[in-house]
Amino acid sequence: MNTPPPNSPAQMTITAQPLLSQNKKDARPLFMVLVILAFLATLTLLAVASGYRAAAGWHDNLDGTVTVQIKPNENTKQAEQAKTILSELPSVATVTILPSEHSKKLLQPWLGDAPLPDDLPLPVLLDVKLKTKQELNIKHVTSLLSAAGIRADIDDHSQWDEEIKRTTGAARVLSLLALALITIASVAASIFATRAGITGQRRLMDVLQQVGAPPSYTARLFSFRFAWSGFKAGAIGALAALLVSVLVGLLFSTSGGFSYFLPGLHLSLADIYLVITVPIILALIIALTSWQTVVKTLFDEIYP
Amino acid sequence: MNHQNARPDINNSHHIRSGNATANIQFDRVGFRYDRDGEILSDVSFSLPQGSMTFVTGPSGAGKSTLLKLIYLHMRPSRGLITLFGQDTSQIERASIPALKRRMGIVLQDFRLIEHLNVFENVALPLRVAGQKRANYQDDVLGLLKWVGLGARAHALPPTLSGGEKQRAAIARAVIAKPEILIADEPTGNVDDDIGHRLIRLFAELNRLGTTTIIATHNIALIPDGANILSIKNGHISGYISGVEIS
């Protein structure tokens, strides 16, 4: 049986080649830049999310509670009296007289661990929990207690709540600023990379316009290539940041009081979603930027 | 039908003859200059009918390449009117240029082959860009490669090809999509006379299939007897020869 010659159309199979050449050596520096940007963006996002959660936790702890401090005096029954008065208020859920050990503990940072003399006058603290979405009229309560001859300070924690709001607001602005800078850096990096890619593939671009390829066709080639590269870099950077966050979270949880003053870095399911969005958003930014850059170059330089 | 006998209309008094309804390419008092320099082309007027084959000759720097660039819409004229396929090119929006370019095949002196793509992929590029499926064009491309003598070189990368092979690959790419106009700028510039003659015969074959062919060359020895010739000198059309034997 006669076989067709090797160059016969019927027999020859030609494997499709990608139009854009793969130059991994040239692409490596940009890839590293994108990994770092994704890493920083993910860390910032996780820190923001964690800060929000911690602030919300603090707010929840402070919201709905009032501390009543009865000044030291010889009448030991005043605390019980105050408890009765407060318990009768419609907005109050529970009133607890805190043991004197609690007041002593609060003095430890200033007086040290040495035992305190029994005759040291200490205020009595009452922890008042309010019913859900109820508020306490501080002036009214103060006048009720005064009428009963009880000298007391009432703290509804609003001062601390405001402080937390201010701090978290500042942190939010700083984090958004950091994210904006990272986004700008990503756009700049992808413009730079696309321009370098265009220079390296100039012959291909010239030939594509020569054979009548629409600018969108050429732009699609570049934006798909760069977007895929951005997605891979974003995934690596985001995973690295997630790993670092987990390690830092573990460190915080084992460092005792250190985390008492800082928001706890505990990851939640929402954080995983945030991490997943980073490579997707990075790829989209790069796709759009490189598309725009290629189309602009084509119209500016190739199509008169 | 021998389309080579379709004659271009030319008028050096700067007026195109009227009544050429089938003209593919018309120039009417076209001038071109870069910035403030003097005009590269000045008051060029001619009309090339559909199916004609025309050689543009002239010394280096005469304006041959500029003339071709204006035809294949690589540049826009500084003044005058160019009509392609019956459309005034000054009225064509940039977004419509690619579609017009797909109706033309272009062969340039430097071949413009993509070095990382093999001969098959280079030749198939216009079809790929036009969105055709590989299965639909593979046999056509391989058949054309065989016809231009590159059947055994389909897998070869351009850097491994000889000058003549590169030029034939570039010509195959220019004609694979069956363009209505074929434009070649010094297509024999990088090959010896023997291969040059073969390439010119190849263009003549393509012209016989109905493609309007316009070839710029400074080597008049390669122009076949009886060809239409447009001579350019210092940016002006200096002469037109039709059916005159060139010695």
pLDDT in tens, B191-225: 777 778 878 888 888 888 888 999 998 888 888 87
Distance between CA atoms of A253 and A269, rounded to whole angstroms? 18
A164 against A181, higher pLDDT: A181
A9 contact residues in B (CB cutoff 8 A)? 138-139, 142-143, 146
- Other CB atoms within a 10 A radius of the CB of residue B121 amount to 23
Is B146 within 8 Å of chain A by CB?
yes
A210, A296: one domain: yes
Distance between CA atoms of B116 and B121, rounded to whole angstroms? 9
Most confident of the following: A9-23, A184-198, B29-43, B154-168: B154-168
Q: How far is A200 from chain B (nearest CA, A)?
A: 12
Residues spanned by the domain of A248:
24-60+167-302
Does residue A71 fall inside a structural domain?
yes
Q: Do B75 and A304 touch (CB under 8 A)?
A: yes
A180, A143: one domain: no
> What local confidence, expressed as pLDDT, does residue A196 receive?
78
> What local confidence, expressed as pLDDT, does residue B8 receive?
57
Q: Which residue of A has its CA nearest to B133?
A: A16
pLDDT-wise least confident of A107-121, A139-153, A194-208: A107-121
B219 contacts: CB under 8 Å, gap ≥ 6: B188, B189, B193, B196
Q: How far is A272 from chain B (nearest CA, A)?
A: 40
Is B158 within 8 Å of chain A by CB?
no
A74, A142: one domain: yes
Q: Which residue of A has its CA nearest to B105?
A: A211
Final residue belonging to a domain, choices A156, A185, A213: A156
CA nearest neighbour of B44 among B204, B230, B215: B230
Tokens at residue A29, please? 């520096």
A255 contacts: CB under 8 Å, gap ≥ 6: none
Q: How far is A215 from chain B (nearest CA, A)?
A: 8
Q: What does each C-alpha distance from A4 to A11, A158, B71, B114, B214 come to in angstroms?
A: 7, 91, 43, 30, 38
Of B100, B102, B120, the CB nearest to A14: B120
A301 against A68, higher pLDDT: A68
Does residue A40 fall inside a structural domain?
yes
CA nearest neighbour of A129 among A173, A97, A166: A97
A257, A291: one domain: yes
Which domains does chain B show, CATH number per domain? Answer: 3-242 (3.40.50.300)
Distance between CA atoms of A299 and B4, rounded to whole angstroms? 37
At A203, give phi and psi (nearest 5°).
-60, -45
Distance between CA atoms of B64 and B186, rounded to whole angstroms? 9
Does residue A243 fall inside a structural domain?
yes
Q: Residue A116 half-sphere exposure, CB side, CA atoms within 13 Å? A: 18
Most confident of the following: A82-86, B83-87, B123-127, B176-180: B123-127
Q: Are A60 and A130 in contact (CB under 8 A)?
A: no
Chain B 179-238, residues with CB within 8 Å of chain A CB atoms: none
Distance between CA atoms of B179 and B21, rounded to whole angstroms? 19
Q: Do A7 and B129 touch (CB under 8 A)?
A: no
Q: Using one digit for the tens of pLDDT, what is the confidence trace for B107-148? A: 998 889 999 999 999 999 999 999 999 999 999 999 999 988
A197 contact residues in B (CB cutoff 8 A)? none
Q: Do B112 and A210 touch (CB under 8 A)?
A: yes
Residue A55 has pLDDT above 80, yes or no: no
Report the greatest alpha carbon distance in chain B. 52
pTM of full prediction above 0.80: no
A145, A219: one domain: no
A56, A69: one domain: no
Q: How far is B195 from chain A (nearest CA, A)?
A: 23
> What local confidence, expressed as pLDDT, does residue B157 receive?
94
Most B CBs within 10 Å, among A8, A13, A14, to test the B interface: A14
Residue B18 has pLDDT above 50, yes or no: no
Alpha helices (H) along A254-304: 269-297
Q: Do A211 and B121 touch (CB under 8 A)?
A: no
Residue B19 has pLDDT above 50, yes or no: no
> What local confidence, expressed as pLDDT, does residue A160 receive?
73
Residue B1 has pLDDT above 60, yes or no: no
Does residue A2 fall inside a structural domain?
no
Does residue A16 fall inside a structural domain?
no
B117 contact residues in A (CB cutoff 8 A)? 17, 19
B131 contacts: CB under 8 Å, gap ≥ 6: none
Does residue A7 fall inside a structural domain?
no
A44, A172: one domain: yes
Chain B 107-136, residues with CB within 8 Å of chain A CB atoms: 108, 112-118, 120-121, 125-126, 128-130, 134
> What local confidence, expressed as pLDDT, does residue B80 receive?
94
A216, A117: one domain: no
A131, A196: one domain: no
Most confident of the following: A44-48, A184-188, B38-42, B124-128: B124-128
CA nearest neighbour of B222 among B204, B197, B199, B244: B197
Q: How many distinct structural domains can be found in chain A?
A: 2
Does residue A49 fall inside a structural domain?
yes
A86, A181: one domain: no
Final residue belonging to a domain, choices A105, A123, A156: A156
Residue B94 has pLDDT above 50, yes or no: yes
Q: Are B7 and B54 in contact (CB under 8 A)?
A: no
Q: Are A21 and B168 in contact (CB under 8 A)?
A: no
pLDDT-wise least confident of A149-163, A178-192, A224-238: A149-163
Q: Using one digit for the tens of pLDDT, what is the confidence trace for A233-265? A: 999 999 999 999 888 878 776 665 444 444 455
Q: How confident is the model at residue A12 (pLDDT cuts 50, 70, 90)?
A: low
Q: Are B79 and B35 in contact (CB under 8 A)?
A: no
Q: How far is B243 from chain A (nearest CA, A)?
A: 32
Average pLDDT over residues A182-205: 81
> What local confidence, expressed as pLDDT, does residue A259 receive?
47
Final residue belonging to a domain, choices A156, A183, A212: A156
Distance between CA atoms of B76 and B30, rounded to whole angstroms? 10
Q: Do A9 and B173 touch (CB under 8 A)?
A: no
Distance between CA atoms of B26 and B82, rounded to whole angstroms? 6
ipTM of predicted complex: 0.83
> What local confidence, expressed as pLDDT, does residue A21 receive?
81
> What local confidence, expressed as pLDDT, does residue B68 receive?
94
Give the residue carrying structure tokens 């009428």.
A147
Read out DSSP for A12-80?
-------SS---HHHHHHHHHHHHHHHHHHHHHHHHHHHHHHHHHHHHHHHTTEEEEEEPP-S-TTHHH
| 3-class DSSP state of B30 | strand
Average pLDDT over residues A264-284: 82
A172, A279: one domain: yes
Does residue A115 fall inside a structural domain?
yes
A24 contact residues in B (CB cutoff 8 A)? none
CA nearest neighbour of A128 among A136, A119, A139: A136
DSSP code, position B132? -
- Tell me the CATH number at A95: 3.30.70.100
Average pLDDT over residues B78-97: 89
Chain B 55-94, residues with CB within 8 Å of chain A CB atoms: 72, 74-76, 94
CA nearest neighbour of A216 among A115, A107, A143, A303: A303
A180, A232: one domain: yes
Angle ∠(A26,B170,B184) on CA atoms, nearest 5: 120
